[in-house]
Amino acid sequence: MKKLLSPAGIAASLGLALLLALALAGPALWGEAATQRAVADRWAPAGSEFHFGTDDLGRDIFARVMAATRLSLLLTLGATAIGVGGGVLVGLTAVVLPRYPRRFLVWIMDMLLAFPWLLLVLFFTVIWGATATGAMLAIGLSGIPNLTRLVYNLAASVSEQDYVRAARVAGAGPVRVLFRHILPNIANPLLVQASASASVTLLAFAGLSFLGLGVQAPEYDWGRLINEGVAHLYTNPMAAIGPGIVIVFAGLVFTLVAEALTDRPGQGLRGVAAAARAAVLPGAAPLPARGAGAGGPGDGADPGGPGDRGPALAEVADLRVAFPDGAGGLVERVRGVSLAVRPGEVVGIVGESGSGKSLTAMALAGLLEAPAVVSARVRRFDDIDLDAPLTRALSKRLGTELGFVFQDPLTSLNPALTIGRQLTEVSRTHLGMSRSRARDRAVAGLEAVGIPEPRRRLGDYPHQFSGGMRQRAMIGMALTGHPRLIIADEPTTALDVTVQKQVLAVLRRAQRSTDAAIVLISHDIALVSGFCDRVVVMKDGEVVEDLDAQHIREQARHPYTRGLIACLPDMRSDRTRPLPVVEDGVPAADPLPGGEPRRPAPGVPTADAGTRSGGSAL
Ligand SMILES: Nc1ncnc2c1ncn2[C@@H]1O[C@H](COP(=O)(O)OP(=O)(O)OP(=O)(O)O)[C@@H](O)[C@H]1O
């Protein structure tokens, strides 16, 4: 709205209104004068009677320019629609195609893109003949490769976003993902591009008609009028300049429309964005009352021991994930990881950056796609074999029983959809709830994670939430029903320490109310050991240790784990001395327990500087 009230927005609206009025009323107001011949008035100069003069049959050129508005705009909009529609269709098709057909299609489009558009137009004109319709088809079709490239690039980048991954976890098929999650998020730049290409198309028409390849007599558009007037440029310049001015004006209006649309956030596309997100809002489990039973690291609650929880709910055995190394081979990033999560168990995965934590979690959720090459002896969620093709029913089950909370809540919520739409989608599509019931559940979901005025906030877009609120909303989506497993990949990394604590408390509270198992990924061994029953330590793509969180200090044997622990200050730490560091996976000193840390280099933070984000069993 703001943008529409900007000078560019106001000018664009007024210009569009004027063009529209001319297109609608032009033929009625000036049609007769435009075709009336008066031999006595042939080649009358521009003046008060004939603003742009007359042509060789004595017809009023100004009246012809005004009357030509309708045909000129219709042809321009028609060709633009063909170019944009075709580009969207081919670009989106390319995104969902398998690798090699996709590459082939994009290659063809790139070839056509490199081909001069005027030659393409001439080629099509030869096929369809030099008619107005032929010119429209020719210009429209020659615009498709350009638009295809744009749509493909935009869609490919959006399809990497966490909210699209989350939609896939929730069982959304490729068509649904395209139309509900990708298209609304690329619609804005597409509209801008469509407006900008309308002005180019207008010029292309003028050029074609000027060359005698476009509109043919007795029809006339602005380009043809320039063509007719240019022969008398020296005796009556306005005969060519007049239609030229109108073309420049219309081109300017289209450019201003593009300018006014630029930077408008996705919420302006309510009509386009018909959809929702796909985390996990299953089941009919009652939501926890706000503030009830909070626990977790922040509130000093007991995380509970692993106990005997029966057979694993989710499991990978000998999981390997590899990527092409660019030289025809593969490089393994996850190397034989085995991990089982039992019902209700809270498992933490810690490890240095690049150790394969996220890949393991994504493989556990069945989220890895090409170019990742995944193999495992076992990879299952409950009785669902994640290595076998999933039926629709199994995808739906995965979508409602498995929740994924991503690291960055800004990228994991769809910016084009309101929070309410995203929270109600799974209830409505997977659980078949009515709109009002789904909204009630969504309100309860936001309330459960401590969002004030939840009913009002349902109408907000993600950018209207703070970082902590977005992450709470994300957790609310994953937890308001009864998910059986929630995978949280560094859910608090993007948040400050106070908000981290609140978010973890929310996660803990919701976990208790639903008894879902949790896999929590973090760099922070203190946070994980305070929150989880079990801590799995990863290094270089392997699990190096699997420890009881309550006794991590005594049980840790691997040098890397001992190094991580040694780097944490405790009550006995000498706060006047720097903290030790982990060097190449081995602690600079092994102070367990009561050992003497080596004095690190100057500049290394001291125990006083260490900031802890949660309570710890350490
Ligand atoms: N799509 C990909 N293509 C190639 N290599 C990848 C891809 N995704 C991940 N990797 C590599 O796999 C390794 C493990 O990545 P992963 O994201 O699992 O690490 P991580 O332990 O989660 O790290 P962080 O804590 O920094 O998120 C890294 O070396 C990473 O560069």
323 in contact with ligand 1, CB cutoff 6 A: yes
Those residues whose C-beta lies under 8 Å from the C-beta of residue 555, and which sit 6 or more positions away, are 547, 548
Residue with token string 């290394």? 604
- Residue-wise pLDDT tens digits, 188-215: 788 878 887 887 888 888 787 777 777 7
φ, ψ (nearest 5 deg) of residue 584? 50, 40
Minimum-distance ligand 1 atom for the alpha carbon of 323? 4
Q: How far is the CA of 325 from the centre of ligand 1 (A)?
A: 13
CA distance 274 to 224: 43
Residue 320: band (very low, low, confident or very high) from pLDDT cuts 50, 70, 90: very high
Q: Is the pLDDT of residue 269 over 50?
A: no
Look at residue 486 and tell me whether its pLDDT is greater than 80. Answer: yes
Q: Where in the chain is the domain with CATH 1.10.3720.10?
A: 3-269
Residue 316 backbone class (left: φ over 0; alpha: ψ -120 to 50; beta: rest): beta
Residue 263 pLDDT exceeds 60: no
Quickly tell me which residue has 């050992």 as its tokens.
Answer: 595
Range from 173-182, 268-277, 494-503 that averages highest in pLDDT: 173-182
Q: What DSSP element (H or E) covers 391?
A: none
What percent of the chain stands above pLDDT 70? Answer: 80
Tokens of 111: 């070839």
Determine the pLDDT at residue 578.
60
- The confidence band for 577, taking pLDDT boundaries of 50, 70 and 90, is low
On the question of pLDDT at 336 being above 60, the answer is: yes
Q: Are strands 485-489 and 517-522 parallel, antiparallel or unpaired?
A: parallel
Distance CA 147, CA 573 (A): 62
CB neighbours of 527 closer than 8 A, spacing ≥ 6? 297, 492, 500, 504, 612, 613, 614, 616
Ligand 1 center–CA 365 separation, angstroms: 16
Q: What is the DSSP string of 560-614?
A: HHHHHHHTS--TT--TTSBPP-EETTEESS--TTT-------TTSPBGGG----S
What is the number of other CB atoms lying within 10 angstroms of the CB of residue 467?
Answer: 15
DSSP state of 408: -
How is 525-567 classified by DSSP, letter by letter?
A: HHHHHHH-SEEEEEETTEEEEEEEGGGHHHH--SHHHHHHHHT
Answer whether residue 86 shows pLDDT above 90: yes
Q: Are 517 and 343 in contact (CB under 8 A)?
A: yes
Q: Residue 20 pLDDT > 90, yes or no?
A: yes
Report which listed range, 163-167, 185-189, 263-267, is most confident.
Answer: 185-189
Whether ligand 1 lies within 6 angstroms of the CB of 353 is answered as yes
Residue whose Cα lies nearest atom 17 of ligand 1: it is 358
- CA of 350 from ligand 1 middle (Å) equals 14
Nearest CA to ligand 1 atom 24: 353
What is the pLDDT averaged over residues 289-316?
48
Q: What is the 3-state secondary structure (H, E, C) of 154-190?
A: HHHHHCCCHHHHHHHHCCCCHHHHHHHHHHHHHHHHH
Which residue did the predictor score with more confidence, 485 or 162? 485
Does domain 297-305+343-367+378-566 fall under CATH 3.30.450.20? My reply is no
Tokens 């937890």, residue? 479
- Residue 571 confidence class, pLDDT cut points 50, 70, 90: low
Q: Which CATH number fits domain 3-269: 3.40.190.10, 3.30.2030.30, 1.10.3720.10, 3.90.1530.10?
A: 1.10.3720.10
Please list the residue range(s) of the chain that carry CATH number 3.40.50.300.
297-305+343-367+378-566
- Split at pLDDT 50, 70, 90, the class of 479 is low
Q: What type of residue sits at position 306?
A: P
128 pocket-lining for ligand 1 (C-beta < 6 Å): no
The radius of gyration computed from the CA coordinates of the chain, to the nearest angstrom, equals 32
Give the list of residues 6+ apart from residue 179 with CB closer than 8 angstroms, or none: 274, 275
Task: Tell me the mean pLDDT in the region 457-464.
Answer: 86
Tally of helices (H runs) and strands (E runs) in the chain: 22, 13
- pTM greater than the 0.90 cutoff: no
Higher-scoring residue by pLDDT: 17, 482: 17
Q: Among 359, 492, 524, which residue has the most ligand 1 atoms within 8 Å of its CB, making it the best to mutate?
A: 359
Atom of ligand 1 nearest to the CA of 360: 18
Residue 43: CB within 6 Å of ligand 1? no
Ligand 1 close to Cβ of residue 236 (< 6 A): no
- pLDDT (mean) for 517-526: 86
Q: Tell me the pLDDT band of 333, cut-offs 50, 70 and 90.
A: very high
End-to-end CA separation in angstroms for the chain: 53
C-alpha–C-alpha distance, residues 396 and 102, integer Å? 27
* Residue 404 to residue 80: CA distance in whole angstroms: 41
Please give the pLDDT value at position 519: 92
Q: What mean pLDDT comes out for the span 86-102?
A: 86
**Residue showing tokens 């495992």:** 376
* Closest ligand 1 atom number to CA of residue 407: 27
- CA dist 131 and 136 (Å) reads 9
> Over pLDDT 90: what percentage of the chain?
9
Mean predicted lDDT score pLDDT of the chain: 76
Interatomic CA distance for residues 439 and 426, integer angstroms: 11
- When mean pLDDT is compared across 248-262, 383-397, 428-442, 579-593, the lowest value belongs to 579-593
